[in-house]
Structure 1
Amino acid sequence: MITKALDVTYGLFQAFDRAGSVDALDRTLLDAVSKLGVESTFAGIIPIPGTSRRDQAAHVLLDSTPPGWTERYFKAGHLFRDPTIRRLTADLTPFRWSDIEPAYRADAAARRVMDEAGDFRLRQGFTVPLITLDGRVAGFSFGAERFDPSPELRGMLQLVASYAFGRSIALGEGPPRPEVRLTPREREALQWAADGKTEWEIGELMSISEHGAEKHLRSIRTKLGTASRTHAVAEGFRRGLLK
């Protein structure tokens, strides 16, 4: 029977459907693809040119990249210099990062993005371009220190990317979120976090200790129901808590 032959695929998609939050989906996805050699995943809608760095982060849908990378990426303004973004907006066919290496090695800005990604164990990867029914271009990347997927594995990852991406959108458009009340100091800390400031810098700007800044950010994550600083900032934009 066809259903029996698709047990693994069906089981994974059921697990995606059971995920009740984006964070849960992130964990389920990474657990599944890590068995295939993937160490990190990242997916999002490509912002229109001219979108501010702060607003770019709100376009992220899924993110299991190493701590610190996403914040560094947006703070440095890497998005529109990123050769994977340039490629997927120009050519809607999936590609390995090694496929575009000759082009980005000749471009200093693009080379810097990829070299810095390598510092976070994102040296090799595979990116799947996606198009929403609204005509928006999106990208779904699988990365690792060493990852050169075979044609068969690339086909599997395209299927996984498409389903996980759709599920992430469904979760983002779910029931209205309960109102969250942040204190004025928490709002200030979240705004500085959105500006890419470190905990130490936030402490200096708010005239509190680094530990105090960390405490504010931890409280914010708890109130917003997010597991990471990046997701807290993205959720802050979605809720209109950030300018």
Structure 2
Amino acid sequence: MVNRHLEVLEFASHINRYPDLKSLTADFSQLMSQFGLTSFIFTGLPSAGYDVAPLIVCDHWPEGWTDRYRDQNYFAEDPVGRWSITKRRPFRWQDAQKATTPTPIRRQIAGEAWEHGLADGIAYPLHGETSAVVSLASESNLSIDASDEASIFLAVSYYKSAAEDIERLSRKHDKPALTYRDIEHLKWMAAGKTAWETSCILSISESAVKVHRATVRRKLGVATTTQAIAVSVQRGIIPL
């Protein structure tokens, strides 16, 4: 047991050695496997009704699970997903599930997760300038103690910070050339304002707002307002 805690400290103390997300994630994955955590996801947390996909930084779930989860819009009903938004401390999946009224769809989510090798897990919500979660899973009932949870939290925190730094550097040269006005429109879009409401706020015509929104979507390479907001949050252009 002591060895894996020391390895977490080793991982944290050499976090700046990783040149890319692939090598960082490989070592993090190997480290987590020593705690019985065989898969995980690191993702930003979407606002209600938004797709989580553009916010995913690293998807290390079993093959097929993420697509199934998204296709069925499970996030809206998943107790673990909902707790990730509201909680400020790490929590066990089973605590979220027990505290939520069971419904057929929630039982279906838990059953299908089990079939994909996600029997039990622990989630680490990370709230700051942006909100994210690193959720880790075990193929069987999870057996970790308080010292394990603390070590995992340390590794998760360093992993998140390093992954974000790597992603930020990789996007530095391909970030779209958005103007101050573009970002202003994005912020009002993210706030849920309609084109008409934005026109009143900015004292311009509604048609001008629509044209500007179309320009922003083109610059970001997306087709919808929802996608524009998600991509902008993921790239750090606007806060969540």
Given the two structures, how large is their TM-score scaled by the length of structure 2?
A: 0.65
> Could you say if the C-alpha distance between residues 81 and 23 of structure 1 is closer, same or farther in structure 2, counting changes exceeding 3 Å?
farther
Structure 1 gap ranges (5+)? 1-5, 180-238
Matched, 1:165 2:164: no
Structure 2 counterparts to residues 56-67 of structure 1, below 5 A? 56-67=52-63
For residue 93 of structure 1, report the CA deviation from its aligned partner. Answer: 2.0
Give the structure 1 partner of residue 133 of structure 2.
139
Matched, 1:43 2:42: yes
Tell me how far apart the structure 1 counterparts of residues 26 and 15 of structure 2 sit (CA, whole Å): 10
CA RMSD of aligned residues (A): 2.4
Given the two structures, how large is their TM-score scaled by the length of structure 1?
A: 0.64
Report if aligned partners of 2:80, 2:97 keep a CA contact under 8 Å in 1: no
> Could you say if the C-alpha distance between residues 95 and 10 of structure 1 is closer, same or farther in structure 2, counting changes exceeding 3 Å?
closer
Report if aligned partners of 2:12, 2:154 keep a CA contact under 8 Å in 1: no
Matched, 1:97 2:100: no
Give the structure 2 partner of residue 73 of structure 1.
69
Give the structure 2 partner of residue 125 of structure 1.
121
* 4+ residue segments displaced more than 6 Å: none
Identity rate, percent: 21
Tell me how far apart the structure 2 counterparts of residues 29 and 131 of structure 1 sit (CA, whole Å): 21
Query: SS in structure 2 opposite 1:71?
Result: helix
Select the structure of larger CA radius of gyration.
2
| Residues 123-132 or 95-104, more deviating | 95-104
Tell me how far apart the structure 1 counterparts of residues 144 and 168 of structure 2 sit (CA, whole Å): 32
Report if aligned partners of 1:42, 1:141 keep a CA contact under 8 Å in 2: yes
Tell me how far apart the structure 2 counterparts of residues 15 and 111 of structure 1 sit (CA, whole Å): 41
Matched, 1:150 2:145: yes
For residue 72 of structure 1, report the CA deviation from its aligned partner. Answer: 1.4
Structure 2 gap ranges (5+)? 175-218, 224-240
Q: Report 1 or 2 for greater relative contact order, CA contacts < 8 Å, sequence distance ≥ 6.
A: 2
The one-letter code matched in structure 2 to 1:21 is D
